[in-house]
Structure 1
Amino acid sequence: MDAELSSQPIVASRVSKKKMNWYLWGTLFILPEVVLFILFLWVPIFKGIFYSFYNVDFVDGNHFTGLANYVSILKDDLLWISIKNTLIYMALGIILGFWIPPLVAIAVSELRRFQGAARIISYLPSAVPAIVLYGMWMWFFDAVGPINSLLQKIGIDQVSFFSPKLAMSSIVVLETWQSFGAATLIYIAAIVGIPKDLYEAAEIDGASVWQRVRYIILPSIKTLMGLLLVLQLITTSQGFQAQLSMTDGGPNNATLTYLLWLNHTAFRDLEFGKASAMGSLMFFVLIGMTILYNVMQRRSEKA
């Protein structure tokens, strides 16, 4: 008995050392990634906040200006124009694009045959490179492009897709076409994870397709839809690539989003201090949205 009691601390010590070795090796493996993460993400963020209080001048040197950059942003008429356009862009993304992935996922999941082919086809637009995507849709939306040619053949007047009223909607349409495939696969994975017993019970009770969708699928993916909604809001709040490539903020600033205005301020107007202040303001807004996203994600994990 005494021998067994004396051996227990030795065994515990060995187990403890083995765990420490695993923790050490694990730390060594992730250390390069942590260093790169700090160097290329957090260091630029803190430098941006630091330079937001300076007038950045590569010739005469930087000069501390306090809150002057923030005051300049608040007095600039483009601030409210860019915020309004960003909110419109986010709203159109929800109205025109948010509902397509779950609808396509439900339609694919209800197919009795060729589900694999349907999943591949739905994802293909996401594989199109951005430069090809924008060139292709510029041709689609052109005055003599295929869409207007088809409309004229059926007796409908030519549509100016890049007019001030339609430019943002046109951009949302092309981005929805490109990005709905990835979200569709996420929804399909969630639908596949629904217990088969529920479907079997519904079929025995004579439930229709709409009833299965309403009472089984939608309640099961409701939390996921909430998470993807918050994630889409975070993503669209940073939208500028399509606006820059397709319209450069025009016509008449109709597609000038906040991040595109920041890009123009930094690289066209060369006001890096003001651009840093704009980035800092957006950083804190996105932190709030990210906190909301994490709270919803934790709720979904508990559910």
Structure 2
Amino acid sequence: MSQTTAIPSLPLDTQPKKPPAKWRKYFWGYAFLAPALVVFALFLWLPIGKGIYLSFFHVDPVKGNLFVGWDNYNRIFDDPDVGKSARNTLYYMGLGVLIGFWVPIVFALAISEMRKLQGFARAAAYLPYVVPLVVLYGLWRWLYDPVGPLNSFLSWFGIDPILFLTDTKWSMISIVIMETWQSFGSALLIYIAAISSIPRDMYEAAEIDGAGIWKRIRYITLPAIKTQIVLLFLLQLIATSQGFQSQKALLDGGPNNATLTYALHVVNYAFKNFDTGTASAMGVLMFLVLCLLAVIQYRLSNKKEA
């Protein structure tokens, strides 16, 4: 006679539970993220959408907005100052690369090879970055003065005074030199951090093999920080493409529109000419270009992580 063994049923409280719904699982994560999303929506996404919307209108706070279609965009391409400001912006970006981009790399390489006083050198290089902008502009106006310290120094070598801020050939170069001195410290710290992450065994092995400073830099340091160089290069292009603060504060786009950048021209359209529609259209075009640069930076960042 066969016996059957009954399978005991599990108590109700030990029955397998259904997994919680996805929204319940991530509820607190979404809750903590919500304030940041609201801030981004109010101060970033909403203004971007509003700017795209207004680019198709003639904005009049008194009579109301009038839909004009693509007229604002046509006005941009008919304005000769827009082309000049775009060329000035490209020139400004190019000067930033030629003059300012290599300065933090050179200083980072030099500091990384120092045997003593590395901490002092890092602090001294970063110090200009914390100088208030009001002090910065006043200091460099004094340095660039026709009878200021720079021209006095050049006079010792028989060089005639240079009109740094009033000569169209020197005005943009002078701004780039000032901004390089003020801001290279932040990029310097990034490069130093990247160099510090390189295993010291590689340098020790290179020294044992008889490699000097230049060979260590060429074959070890520069290849190791290549990704940081490319990313900071793109970040500098994005930052300089939006340059207007120094051009506005020092020269207001002068002399003879030599420092009139695209972003400064947008500001002039909005707050000098009170043509918000055309300024919004210019902003949309600039937004598209920056999106392209941001996509390139994002792809390079993913490659770095991979």
Relative to the length of structure 2, the TM-score reads 0.93
Change (3 A) 1:43 1:69: same
Tell me, yes or no, if structure 1 residue 233 matches structure 2 residue 237: yes
Amino acid aligned to 2:207: E
> CA offset at residue 155 of structure 1?
2.2
Q: Which residue number in structure 2 is paired with residue 177 of structure 1?
A: 181
Q: 2:193 aligns with which of 189, 194, 199?
A: 189
> CA offset at residue 154 of structure 1?
3.4
Moved more, 196-205 or 207-216: 196-205
> CA offset at residue 223 of structure 1?
1.3
Q: 2:145 aligns with which of 112, 132, 142?
A: 142
- Structure 2 stretches of 5 or more lacking a match? 1-5
Distance 2:17 2:303 in 1: 38
Deviations 1:153-197 (A, max 9, x none): 332210110210010000000000111000000000000000111
Distance 1:19 1:117 in 2: 52
* Higher CA-based Rg: 2
Distance 1:192 1:262 in 2: 42
Amino acid aligned to 1:110: E
The root-mean-square deviation of aligned C-alpha atoms, in Å, is 2.2
Deviations 1:53-110 (A, max 9, x none): 0000111111000000000001100111011000000000000000011110011111
Structure with higher helix content: 1
For the residue of structure 2 that corresponds to 1:270, the secondary structure is: coil
Distance 2:124 2:15 in 1: 57
Relative to the length of structure 1, the TM-score reads 0.94
> CA offset at residue 17 of structure 1?
5.1
Distance 2:238 2:276 in 1: 24
Q: Which residue number in structure 2 is paired with residue 297 of structure 1?
A: 301
Amino acid aligned to 1:291: V
Distance 1:171 1:12 in 2: 69
Aligned length: 299
- Structure 1 stretches of 5 or more lacking a match? none
Q: 1:262 aligns with which of 237, 262, 266?
A: 266
Distance 2:45 2:26 in 1: 25
Give runs of ≥4 in structure 1 deviating > 6 Å: 9-12, 18-22
Q: Which residue number in structure 2 is paired with residue 277 of structure 1?
A: 281
> CA offset at residue 151 of structure 1?
1.6
Deviations 1:216-273 (A, max 9, x none): 0000011110111011001100000000011111111100000000011100010011
Identity of aligned residues (%): 52
Tell me, yes or no, if structure 1 residue 25 matches structure 2 residue 32: no
Q: 2:115 aligns with which of 105, 109, 112?
A: 112
Deviations 1:102-153 (A, max 9, x none): 1100111111111111111111011011111111111110111111122223
Tell me, yes or no, if structure 1 residue 56 matches structure 2 residue 76: no
Alignment of 1:94-173 (within 5 A): 94-162=97-165, 163-173=167-177
